[in-house]
Amino acid sequence: MIIDGDDTLWENNVYFEQAIEDFIDFLAHSTLSREQVRATLDEIERLNSGIHGYGTAAFARNLRETYERLAERAIETPDIEHVMNLGRRIVQVELDLLPDVADTLDYLAARHRLLLFTKGEEEEQRLKVQRSGLAPHFDQVVVTKEKDVAAYRRLIREQDLDAGEAWMVGNSPRSDINPALDAGLRAVFIPHPHTWRLEHADVRDDRRLLVLQSFRQLREYF
Ligand SMILES: [Mg+2]
């Protein structure tokens, strides 16, 4: 069983959402609505994710770029620093496990081989795993720059998985569910109300897909 980290095992995107709200307050644009500022940031994040990947350093850079594009005042170094710190400070927040995660992993690890498969910047993701205290439940922790079909195929090969028998568990249709199904895995979709907007996608109707309301519910099926 392969399990996602951010917003599946622990809170993550909610901190980015808060930073974006603070950023929009700081920008205080005179004509653009909050949603229009957000749309500009989304566009910059989409363009840059292929180049700079994911994580707080990339996010801080994206905030800076958005600020430079939209600011209605002279671009001053202290303001740039302030904007980038809104992103950088996320690494310092307390790591909050989602409800029943530790108990449920305890239950699952006794029955299945568990792999943690998380997307982002290597060192940052490993630090989160360490702070979560969840590493002992997992046979291995694999950090990947992108979660596309190729990444799942690589994981299946490297971990010697029987794709038709293995499950991918996660909150993101775009990163956890659709590419896993395309790689021949089965999938468990556990929606999180604060999933990052760029992770949204339609989940297709597939008999290899299970949709659950909470992490704890995995006990009923595995
Ligand atoms: Mg996730």
What residues make up the domain containing 71? 13-92
In which band, very low, low, confident or very high, does the pLDDT at 75 lie, cut at 50, 70 and 90?
very high
- Domain end call among 69, 92, 115: 92
∠ CA 161-164-167, rounded to 5°: 75
**CB-based burial label for 221 (10 Å; 0-12, 13-18, 19+):** exposed
Ligand 1 center to residue 176 CA distance, Å? 7
Same domain? 109 vs 80: no
The first and second tokens of residue 79, run together, are: 């303001």
Residues 172-185, buried b or exposed e (16+ Cβ, 10 A)? bbbbbbbbbbebbb
Residue 209 pLDDT more than 90? yes
| Mean residue pLDDT across the chain | 96
**pLDDT above 90 for 197:** no
**Residue 163 C-alpha to ligand 1 middle, in angstroms?**
21
pLDDT band at 82 (very low <50, low <70, confident <90, very high): very high
Does residue 150 share a domain with residue 83?
no
Number of independent structural domains in the chain: 2
- C-alpha 222 – ligand 1 centre gap (Å): 20
Give the global pTM: 0.93
Tell me, in angstroms, the distance from the centre of ligand 1 to residue 80's CA.
Answer: 29
Tokens of 216: 């704890």
pLDDT digits over 23-47, tens only? 999 999 999 999 999 999 999 999 9
Q: How far is the CA of 203 from the centre of ligand 1 (A)?
A: 15
Please tell me whether residues 85 and 164 are part of one structural domain.
no
- 101 with 211, same domain: the answer is yes
Task: Give the Cα separation of 53 and 31 in Å (integer).
Answer: 31
Find the angle CA(119)-CA(166)-CA(4) to the nearest 5 degrees: 25
Q: Would the pLDDT of 78 be above 90?
A: yes
Higher per-residue pLDDT: 206 or 3: 3
The lowest-confidence range among 109-113, 129-133, 143-147, 192-196 is 192-196
Quote the ligand 1 centre to 6 CA distance (angstroms).
4
What pLDDT, on the 0 to 100 scale, is given for residue 198? 82
Q: Are residues 181 and 193 in the same domain?
A: yes
Mean pLDDT (whole number) for 170-183: 97
Which of 48, 68, 92 is at the close of a domain?
92
Gap from CA of 12 to ligand 1 centroid (Å) = 8
Q: 204: pLDDT confidence band, cut at 50, 70 and 90?
A: confident
Q: Which of 11, 16, 7 is nearest to 60 (CA)?
A: 16
